[in-house]
Amino acid sequence: MSRETVRKSIESKHEDEQKNSTLNSVKEVLEKKYEVEIYKADESLMLKLKENRPDLVFNLSSGIVGESRQSQVPAILEMLQIPYTGSGILTHSLALHKGIAKKIFMQNQVPTPRFQLFKSFEQPLDKNLKFPLIVKPSMEGSGIGVHKDSLVYNEEEFYKVLKNRLELYEQSILVEEFIEGREFTVGILGNEPDIMVLPIMEISFDRVPEDLGKFYTFETKTKMGHLTDYICPAKVSVELEEKIKSVALRAYKALECRDISRVDVRVREDKPYVLEINTLPGLKKGYSDLPKMAEIAGLKYDKLIDVIIKSAAKRYGLI
């Protein structure tokens, strides 16, 4: 079974509705100021863009197919020299591959959990890694491939889950130390020298049943949202707030993100660790994390979309 077949088989109707809702929300905002046309990311995209040549593309596409899918639409746009919002080709590719992103974080002194990449079941587990460990596909998002059994406490559990994930996903599997503590996410907008770090959001799993796992899984994201508490601004000390924002911003800069991203962080003993960075964060109005953080910062949804547009336009010298 191919990885794409697996992805399609577990993508829920709920997720599809979120994507359509986001598209409609952004379109509604843009139509107040601009002429707007929707382009579907498929094999006909290049021809349609070449014919119509939009002034700027608000990129919401996670791609068509393959391990570098998030880079496909930006690659087409760059080839046609059409301006677009968000990060570039390389950044999207690096961010989607969690293992490579973590290597870059480490090279830039951004704290991240120790990890190991597995391409086969025969690879020995690094004895320096300490249980519990998290096992997840290295190139997926939206919680795909992360379930309650992804958190393992010994080698027997580890190899059982590793075998399952290697069989299901045609990609390397990331294994990292689980940071037992609080979980946060940080939205970031803009580019140097006008980068804005939004108020921190804490994601609390206190009300999630033990049998579903006290961390972000596919199930907690898609089915248990009503039991997950999103607290913004997060109730943390000024010192911890600065630490979290600092590591998030360093991660953003390390991958050379542009215009918008969201950084996921866990904190243990007042030390923040960057888990991953999402260069195409959800923008569903009234639902997604980043719009909620932006609103706390004083950016209503229309203003948030405008900030993203202007950030990209400024990069291209359009304003």
pLDDT value at 6 more than 50? no
Amino acid at 217: T
Q: What is the pLDDT of residue 226?
A: 82
* Closest of 254, 260, 249 to residue 289, by C-alpha: 260
Q: Would you list the DSSP string of 7-62?
A: HHHH--HHHHHHHHHHHHHHHHHHTTTS-------STTHHHHHHHH--S-B-----
Q: To the nearest whole percent, how much of the chain has pLDDT over 90?
A: 78
The H-or-E segment that residue 273 falls in is: strand 271-278
At residue 12, the pLDDT reads 42
135 contacts: CB under 8 Å, gap ≥ 6: 150, 152, 158, 161, 162, 165, 173, 174, 175
Nearest alpha-carbon partner for 84 in 104, 76, 233? 76
Please state which CATH number belongs to domain 115-177. Answer: 3.30.1490
Q: Look at strands 229-231 and 271-278 and give their pairing.
A: unpaired
pLDDT digits (tens, 9 = 90+) for 167-214: 998 899 999 999 999 999 999 999 999 999 999 999 999 898 877 677
Q: Which range among 57-66, 70-79, 103-112 shows the weakest confidence by mean pLDDT?
A: 57-66
Per-residue pLDDT at 308 exceeds 70: yes
Class level of CATH domain 180-316:
alpha beta
The closest of 107, 296, 51 to 186, measured between CA atoms, is 296
Q: At what angle do helices 301-315 and 289-296 cross, to 10 degrees?
A: 100
- Asked if residues 78 and 57 have their Cβ atoms less than 8 Å apart, the reply is no
Given a contact cutoff of 8 angstroms between Cβ atoms, the answer to whether 283 and 25 are in contact is yes
Residues of the chain with CATH 3.30.1490: 115-177
Domain with CATH 3.30.470.20 in the chain: 180-316
d(Cα 79, Cα 299) in Å, to the nearest integer? 33
CA distance 102 to 230: 26
Length of the chain: 319
pLDDT grade for 15, boundaries at 50, 70 and 90: low
Residue pair 258/315 in contact (Cβ under 8 Å)? The answer is yes
